[in-house]
Amino acid sequence: MKTFLVFLLIGSTHLFSQKLLTPSHNNIDPKLIKEETSEAVWYAENAGAKIEIGTIITDLKKLNKTDLLIRTTVKMKQAPDASWVDSTIVKTANFQPVYHSSFNSMRDMVLKSEKNKVTGYYLDKKAQKKDNIEIPAADYFDSNSYSVLIRFSPLKEHYTDEISIFDYNPDAKKGVIKAYIQDVQKTEYNGRKVWAVKTTDDIKDKTVIVTYYIDTETRKILKQDIDLGGRKMTMETIK
């Protein structure tokens, strides 16, 4: 009887365990995806005061019937003329990655998603060092797109999940790792009903917690709270 109960417990755990979210297994609702441009102000918190760091402009644009461009442009307050642009192209239906680039004053990076690998390069401008990239990888989301992916998922209270992502960072992780939806709560922000979605990932070994406040009707991100192990930042959407 005891052996039977052990097998029953193991079987039940397997039955109710969640499957890792990937492009081949996802719950994205493409009908929620619309072209948009939003702007957020980026703040750092210091001794209870908010200090403006810069602004972040995010564009969602349908390039054609199958491809979606996610472009982020960062304008730093102390370096307004500096260029910092991240561009990610994914398949609209399932967010399968196609291409990712990131260009700023410190480094350039280009990643191309092929059948079973990611290729490209990483150029450290300060060290004048260029690394060619070729890493085996399959069935993952681009790390720059998973915050957008969450917006278009069927959110509900206490929802949790794990997401397969690819990230390339010479000072952290390179390759396929995981992101985590740790909790979802229904609350209000500035008079709007929102989903508060608490997330983390393996890029910095779960030491960075980002909470997204997502409008329940429009699915726009109204605010982000970022906890970097004691240091805190916020991003507040202004339009």
Dump the DSSP string for 134-145: EEE--S-EETTT
Q: Where are the beta strands (DSSP E) in the chain?
A: 36-46, 49-62, 67-76, 85-91, 97-103, 107-113, 117-124, 129-136, 141-142, 161-168, 174-189, 192-201, 209-215, 221-228, 231-237
pLDDT of residue 83: 83
In a domain, 48, yes or no: yes
Count of the separate structural domains present in the chain: 1
Question: Is-contact 202 178, C-beta < 8 A?
Answer: yes
pLDDT of residue 14: 38
In a domain, 4, yes or no: no
In a domain, 194, yes or no: yes
In a domain, 179, yes or no: yes
Q: Which two tokens stand for residue 39?
A: 């702007």
In a domain, 25, yes or no: yes
pLDDT of residue 172: 80
pLDDT at 110 over 60: yes
pLDDT at 230 over 90: no
Average pLDDT of 10-38? 77
pLDDT at 11 over 70: no
In a domain, 1, yes or no: no
Average pLDDT of 109-130? 95
Specify the CATH number for the domain of residue 141: 2.50.20
Average pLDDT for the chain: 90
Q: Which two tokens stand for residue 220?
A: 């726009």
Average pLDDT of 45-67? 94
pLDDT at 158 over 70: yes
pLDDT at 237 over 70: yes
Average pLDDT of 117-136? 96
Query: 225: which strand partners?
Result: 211, 234
- Percentage of residues in the chain with pLDDT exceeding 70? 92
**Cβ within 8 Å of residue 121, ≥6 positions away:** 108, 109, 110, 130, 131, 132, 133
Secondary structure, 3-state, 46-61: ECCEEEEEEEEEEEEE
In a domain, 170, yes or no: yes
Average pLDDT of 15-34? 83
Average pLDDT of 146-166? 94
Flag the least confident range among 15-29, 109-123, 129-143: 15-29
In a domain, 54, yes or no: yes
CA distance linking residue 151 with residue 130, whole number of Å = 35
Domain extent, residue 74, equals: 19-237
Average pLDDT of 182-195? 96
